[in-house]
Amino acid sequence: MTNAADHVADLVFGRWRSQILYAGVELGIFDHLQLDTPKQAQVVAHELQADPALLYRLLRALASIGLLNESDQRAFTLTAAGDLLRECHPRSMKAMTRLEEGPQHYALWKHLPAMVRDGHQNAFEREFGRMAFEHARVDKDYDKRFKQAMSSYSALQADLVLEALRRVDLSEARTFCDVAGGHGYLMAAILCAYPQLSGIVLDLPEVVEDRMELSAAKFGVEGRCQYIGGDMFKAIPQADAYGLKMILHDWNDAECIEIFPMCAEPRVLAGVSL
């Protein structure tokens, strides 16, 4: 019974860990520390303009969950896990932490029991009166968190997708469409790995019209990548292969069933080649 009770207690208080992590990220603690050079807690507090006593306690809490190391002199360094929470890390998980543990997504979880009882999705509608993408147009903080999270997390996800695609024969494919592909990081990574492909990124008009954020030019594949602003529920462009990364979980079963036929019956849609 002790092991069972410990397991349940760990689940009950698990959010303490994720919120300690979130506090460290939101305050920018990880960006002020290094892997190999210890920094005194008081120095970090001064740099962050934070209360020294409470910041030291937070630093110790972050160390207790494996993100920092503490020396005998109350100085701290990053662990390998903590290093992933720096903004400049090439596989940074800072932005995703700010999104998933931030105020908007945090508020959604309280609606889970009601959703299961009555079978009505979506938690965003319950909390904010509108779907996530509509809410992003109104809540600029959420819009920024979401875009930063999707862009930064794409680096890690692109590696996983490319690994999975090695088991798929794409030799006959000439066009690949990333449905709701955001700024096109994944599409650009795929184009780099498969020189015979041309890419299409479909997303909302306000997403793809932000030229400075689009990834194709940054990867040097702008000549083979087309961005199309549209609605995947209305039309999806013609392609030989399709990707839907982290898309279907946003919609209920009936809405997902609407999306798949659009891939089976694509249309020629006009877009912008960068």
Catalytic residues: 249
Cβ within 8 Å of residue 7, ≥6 positions away: none
Q: Distance between CA atoms of 246 and 50, rounded to whole angstroms?
A: 36
Altogether, the residues listed in the chain come to a count of 274
Half-sphere exposure of 124 (CA within 13 A, CB side): 15
CB 75 within 8 A of CB 86: no
- The arrangement of strands across the sheet holding 272-273 comes to 241-243, 175-179, 198-203, 225-229, 272-273
Q: Which amino acid is at 241?
A: A
